[in-house]
Structure 1
Amino acid sequence: INSPSSMYGHTLVRMDREDQSSSKLLAYSVNFAANADPTDNELVFSYKGLSGGYPGEVSVMPYYVKTNQYQHMEYRDTWEYELDFGSAEVDQFVRHVWELQDTAFDYFFFDENCSYRLLTMLDAASSRSDLAADFKMKAVPVDTIRALYSAGFVSREVYRPSAASVMESNAALASEEEADLARTLVESDIPIGDLLAGVPEESQTRVLELAYSYARYLSVKKKQANPVLRKRTLQILSARSKLPAGDVFPAPRKPEFRDDEGHGTARLSVGGGYTGEQWHGDINWRIAYHDVLDPSKGFSPGAQIEMGDFYTRVTEDGDVRLQRLTLVNVLSLSHKTRFQNPVAWTVSAGLDRFNHEGSELYSRFNLGFGRAWQLPLGLRDGKRLGSARLFALGDLTARADNQFDDGYQISAGVRAGWLWQGRLNQEMIQFRWQPAALGDDTPRRELTVEEAFNGFDNVQLRFGFSRQWASSEATNSWKLTYAWYF
């Protein structure tokens, strides 16, 4: 979620060798991606990717190059889906790949992206396949996998955990003393032999394995060569080589649900409520993709990515109006672990209205940074039934409209809350307080309580309450919605 180019995921095709005993990492992979300017910053990259500012190109490279990038450089888990294509179809696919090399295509992040282009290549390889025809507006990678399942092309799946997943799995199995010692081995300049003196051999092995994973994580995080860290890493590897070979940690547990087993990426919801002193009906259509109150099966806990969210309201007086439009809304509530200390952050932009009667649409941009903490709740017999976390963010919001003094308001404050994501329900309680303001000195506060109950076959019932204060005046809003995911 922290990479704008890949927060929705990425798709490629691997061409396995005829000898099934050969290493999969030595196979070739077929990839389609935007040929981006490496000097562009993330804001420019996002704009050009959305607007077709980059050419898209097909490339062929060894699979280990991509897995190294995904699993060790970007810390992304990989799911491999074996496709049931015959030898003639595979040959035709290879011929098509060769004729597409060095050909530039339009690249658009939402529709003509990696997933869509690879589907067209599979369509060209097999008369049984016409998958791309169903992707006219958007092509989210997970949806293209579902299309392959529906067409009967997937024969089995393989989970390949990232280096970060391996590190976190091993850290969870190590004792607190072993984890602390592993950090010390990397961060201290004390000789490794002195630090490990008196530690049992099996424990030494676990500590050194963890220390090496942590050193690699720091190297990737800093994105630059560090001679001190490199020297320390070699010392850790040298110490590990003197101990018995073999795995001291089991492989990370395969996730209970694959990404493609989650809810549909589009959502349509209808409902109604009572705001101020008026009843209203609501229709909401979201193009993509997931918010923290959606069913959490198959999604990363604490992660939210929404784009193209249209919220229409019919008031008691019969007026029909756009209540809210979300262009982008990203929330990352990644929590601190023994070896990682990520920043929780959010960014959103769009149009909105306040709860009070007569409020006009205003433009809004919000940015926040802070911390999130996972709580030891939702565990039963060693299995996680849900994820509970607290979060606190510094909150900055810019609003623009003639309803504000000077036509704008830039306000700052805090945003704090509680989030529960379980199998049967999701819950979020948050409070926002923005006392500091420019352009319009009205201090604003908001309390929201939302509860969602998951149904069957991609449906959900959601209840929400919010209370907004502008200075000392407050307006309440209640709503009940029923959602379909498709």
Structure 2
Amino acid sequence: MTTRRYWGLLLLLVFAVSARAQLPLSKAGLEGSTQSPSLDTLADHPQWRALLHYGRVKAGYERESYVDDPAFFLSVDGRRDARAELQATVEQLQNLPTLRCQFIARFRWLQQQGALDSELPAACDGYRQWRGTINAGAVALVFAASYLNSPSSMYGHTFLRVDPQGYRAESALLSYAVNYAAVVPDNDSSLLFAWRGMSGGYPGHFSLQPYVDKLQEYSRLENRDVWEYELNLNAAEIDRLMAHLWELQSINFDYYFMDENCSFRLLELLEVARPGLTLTAEFPVHAIPVDTVRAVREAGLVDEVVYRPSRQRELDALVAPLDAAQRQWVLTLAREPAQNLVPAFQRKSVDEQRTLLLGAYRLLRYQHNRQQRSPDVAGRSFALLRAINHLPPDAGQSATPVRPTEPDAGHATALAGLALGRFDERDYREVSLRLTYHDLLDPVAGYPRNASLNMLQATLRQVDGEGSRLQSLTLVDIRSLAPRTDFFQPISWQARGGLERSDGHPDYLAPYASGGAGGSWQILGVDISALATLRAEYNEGFENNWQAAPGLTVRGGLQREHVAAALEAEHYRFANGVERNTVGLSLNVAVAAQHGIRFNWRRVVEEGQGDEDVSLQWRYYF
């Protein structure tokens, strides 16, 4: 054999060995097939990255997985190296049958790709029994409306509903809820939850529970509307979703309230179910639940939307047409069901009797839905039901709540604003940016009425003859001003905190925190609220910088589909004797789905010095 031929055969052997090393460790690879992709190719595959939760960003994929639990990875470098995790997964699934059951979604996908022998068995009786119990035939994305009285649900909450074969919307008894949430100790306060939730201080994990329990929690106990977005996932996509959920049992993620939250985790699941989706790429900074619902719908995943009104909305629809005398009967019957036997009630028509009795029963249930029923409440409920059942079942008026605008059809949650204004006889220009979410003058369609939730809003002002400076930085601004009625008596409250320049001392950026509580009422179509407040402020314009001030806030608001207006007055008296009085008028006009114009006028009087601020702002929601 000549030297040239020897070296030629040696080079051929080297190339053959190299090519063999690039083939997956499978039966096809062992036979020398070149049809299966290499490990390098599979490591960059969108489905593999989705299975490892390497979330999408605009330019590609994150450099590491969102999963923080080492039990999820088979390679010590798996969280940061998708190829290393693939190599370890192929090797260990090839030899360890128990891991094929633990990571069944990975196992099946690698078999489909030819990286594992298609005849390799996966004996997983536990998974088959679990799947048989759930009997998944359809999936819906569920949005529970915002609930300001719970820090974890201020923006609403999303989870998945898994329906059995042959599911019907009117019956949810056999459906399951797939929920992702932070694991919060019972003794953690709201302030501690807010801090740890923002900083990733809680573990989060997936759980599975009967769907009726979630409906009980949201629509009954917390009086939140529930929206069900039925997804058009096919059988293969549902199978991938369920197999991956099995893999995530007992796996912990670090929970972050603003981004890696319930809604973001569900987007990752849907990217596993339907390869090629890029849902997570749309949320590089924060993931507000209603925005993620909008993204799912825009991706073409939604077929139909089902609305489930809260108990409060059902009761409100029933009693809204009643006059004052009829409303009094409802209140009386809820307290004393035996009043249905008095002659004055018996003389009423059968239809009216049934409407009033049903209203009393629903009111009683609403008033005590967060408490364990006492013998007295149980007895009254039974007496009302018995009286209702003695009447014809078709008597009484229909009480179907009006279907509101779907949450994802409202304005976007981020805001940019440009304003021209005048203060202290000088013109200024302002740029504002709000990360989230909605205030009392924004278009109300798709949002809860009389509720405001704003976080991380900054305003930069440039005054003629001066440079630009930060005018205000609002960390949190929450208001809940639901009106009180004969049947509902919510407490109105507000909480604000951040930095702002006082009109009396514009050279100082003063840290502050304020809060208050009171009541709201609707009078002649206008929402009127009055709240006792307390403000703490650090102001270098004061002789003693730290000051506290009790105060009073009175507001009148009018909200229509495209126009909103408010007149508001505040009074504070600081401990150092300084009084601050503010009155303001605001008008907001929605000129397009994501565009608005807002006029603001405000006058502040402090220590006898009065200043006026007037501005016109263009607002863009995105």
TM-score by length of 1: 0.93
Residue pair 2:407, 2:446 contacting (<8 A) in 1 also: yes
Aligned-pair CA distance for 1:51 = 2.3
Instruction: Tell me the residue number matched to 1:429.
Output: 567
Partner SS, residue 341 of structure 1? coil
- Residue of structure 1 aligned with 2:597, choices 442, 451, 461: 461
Q: 1:240 to 1:253 in 2, by over 3 A?
A: closer
Q: Check the 8 A contact 1:186/1:229 in 2, yes or no.
A: no
- 1:182-232 deviation per Cα after TM superposition (whole angstroms, max 9, x unaligned): 2112224856534844443322211221111111111135x3543322222
* SS of structure 1 residue aligned to 2:328: helix
1:50 aligned residue (195, 198, 222): 198
For 2:401 and 2:356, the matched residues in 1 are separated by 20
Which one of the candidate residues 500, 508, 527 is aligned to 1:389? 527
Counterpart-to-counterpart distance in 2, 1:287 and 1:134: 15
Cα distance in 2 between the residues matched to 1:21 and 1:269: 45
Counterpart CA distance in 2 for 1:254 and 1:158 is 13
> Does the CA contact (< 8 Å) of 1:275 and 1:355 recur in 2?
no
- Cross-structure match for 1:200: 349
Q: 1:239 aligns with which of 378, 387, 390?
A: 387
Matches within 5 A, 1:12-51: 12-21=159-168, 23-51=171-199
3-state SS, counterpart of residue 149 of structure 2 = coil
Corresponding position of 1:79: 227
Q: CA deviation at 1:356?
A: 4.2
**Do residues 447 (structure 1) and 594 (structure 2) align?**
no
Cα distance in 2 between the residues matched to 1:184 and 1:26: 38
Q: Does 1:122 align with 2:260?
A: no
The structure with the largest alpha-carbon Rg is 2
Q: Which residue of 2 aligns with 1:400?
A: 538
Q: Percent identity?
A: 33
Per-residue CA distance 1:318-371 (angstroms, 9 max, x = gap): 312111011100011100123101111111111111124643011111111111
Match of 1:8 among 155, 160, 167: 155
- Label 1:473 to 1:118 Cα distance change in 2 as closer, same or farther (>3 A): same
Distance 2:190 2:377 in 1: 28
Alignment of 1:287-326 (within 5 A): 287-326=435-474
Cα 1:237–1:331, aligned 2, differ >3 Å: closer, same or farther?
same
Partners of 1:256 and 1:225 lie apart in 2 by 31
Q: Name the CA shift for 1:21/1:396 in 2 (closer, same or farther; >3 Å).
A: closer
CA contact (8 A) 1:336 1:373 kept: yes
**What residue identity is the alignment partner of 1:156?**
E
Tell me what 1:380 maps to.
none
Deviations 1:64-111 (A, max 9, x none): 111111111111011111111111001111111111121111111111
Listed one character per residue, the Cα deviations across residues 282-319 of structure 1 (whole Å, up to 9, x for unaligned) are 11000000011112222222110000001111121231
Q: Please state if 1:483 is matched with 2:619.
A: yes
Q: Which segment is superposed worse, 199-208 or 29-38?
A: 199-208
Contact map agreement 2:499 2:509 (CA 8 A) in 1: yes
Distance 2:410 2:468 in 1: 33
2:286 aligned partner: 138
Measure, in 1, the Cα distance between the counterparts of 2:195 and 2:395: 45
**2:238 paired with 1:90:** yes
Residues 189, 87 of structure 1: alpha-carbon distance in 2 compared, 3 angstrom cutoff: closer
Kept after mapping to 2: 8 A contact 1:171/1:338 = no
CA distance in 2, matches of 1:266, 1:469: 32
Distance 2:515 2:603 in 1: 21
1:173 corresponds to: 321
**Greater shift in the superposed pair: 390-399 or 305-314:** 390-399
Q: Which amino acid counterpart does residue 5 of structure 1 have in structure 2?
A: S
Alignment-derived partner of residue 471 in structure 1:
607
Shift of 1:475: 0.9
**Structure 1: stretches of 5+ with no match in the other structure:** 378-387
8 Å Cα contact 2:336-2:380 kept in structure 1: no
Match of 1:464, SS state, is strand
Q: Identify the residue that residue 258 of structure 2 maps to in structure 1.
A: 110
Unaligned runs of 5+ in 2: 1-147
Higher helix share: 2
Q: Name the amino acid aligned to 1:12.
A: F
After TM superposition, the structure 1 stretch with the greater mean CA deviation from structure 2, 37-46 or 442-451, is 37-46
| 3-state SS in 2 of match to 1:468 | strand
8 Å CA contact 1:394, 1:413 repeated in 2: yes
Residue of structure 1 aligned with 2:369, choices 210, 217, 220: 220
Take 1:83 and 1:297, find their aligned partners in 2: how far apart are those partners?
23
Instruction: Give 1:405's aligned amino acid.
Output: E
The one-letter code of the counterpart of 2:232 is: D
CA contact (8 A) 2:313 2:401 kept: no
Question: Does the 8 Å contact 1:276/1:355 carry over to 2?
Answer: no
1:310 alignment partner AA: A
Amino acid at match of 2:574: A
CA contact (8 A) 1:110 1:140 kept: yes
SS at match of 1:5: helix
Which of 501, 524, 528 lines up with 1:353 in the alignment?
Answer: 501
User: Whole-Å Cα distance in 2 between the matches of residues 332 and 130 of structure 1?
Assistant: 36
Asked whether the 8 Å contact 1:269–1:285 carries over to 2, the reply is: yes
Deviation, structure 1 residue 243: 2.2
DSSP-derived class of the 1:16 partner: strand
Shift of 1:405: 2.5
> What is the identity, as a one-letter code, of the residue corresponding to 1:108?
Y
CA distance in 1, matches of 2:458, 2:402: 36
Quote the offset at 1:17 in angstroms: 1.8
Higher strand proportion, which one? Answer: 1
Number of residues paired by the alignment? 473
Contact 2:518 2:530 in 1 (8 A): yes
Q: Could you say which residue in structure 2 is the equivalent of 1:275?
A: 423
Which letter does structure 2 place at the counterpart of 1:460? Answer: G
Which letter maps to 1:209? L
Q: Give the secondary structure class of the aligned counterpart of 1:406.
A: coil
Task: Check whether the contact 1:291–1:306 (CA below 8 A) recurs between aligned residues.
Answer: yes
CA contact (8 A) 2:259 2:285 kept: yes
Match of 1:414 in 2: 552
TM-score (norm 2): 0.73
